[in-house]
Amino acid sequence: MGIDFVFRELQINHMGSTDIDPLRLARRMLDGFTRALYIDMGFDPEGKDLPGRAYQIAADLGLRLERANGSYAVLKDVIEQALTLGTKGSVVSSACLRIPILG
């Protein structure tokens, strides 16, 4: 998945017009965001250079890219945290979740 997928989905759902620059639309949708997160799950299917693609997407959108090592165990833990907080009627933000960010 990447920014191309998002653009296609917007167009399929008629949220984006074909005469609008998709990058401009994405920047407007992400206005106020300052960073993106790449979660490295330790594999790169078919040599697609996922970290490089993540960096390029973040750069195109004017976002600082942060990186975290991930695993299915960490993913499961974070989802469980979000669900637990969500069932208590809390608004879940990334600040509430324990995701180790690498420098």
Kindly list the domain boundaries of the chain, sorted by start residue. Answer: 3-71
% of the chain exceeding 70 in pLDDT: 64
Tell me, what's the pLDDT at 103? 47
Residue 64 dihedral angles phi and psi, to the nearest 5°: -80, 130
Token pair recorded at residue 13: 């759902």
Q: What six digits make up the tokens of 66? A: 């942060």
pLDDT for the residue numbered 72: 84
Residue with tokens 């993540």: 54
Question: Cβ–Cβ contacts within 10 Å for residue 97, how many?
Answer: 13
Does position 92 have pLDDT exceeding 80, yes or no? no
Q: Does the pLDDT value for residue 32 go beyond 60?
A: yes
**Average pLDDT of the residues of the chain:** 75
In sequence order, what are the beta bridge partners of 91? none
Task: Compute the average pLDDT of residues 34-54.
Answer: 85
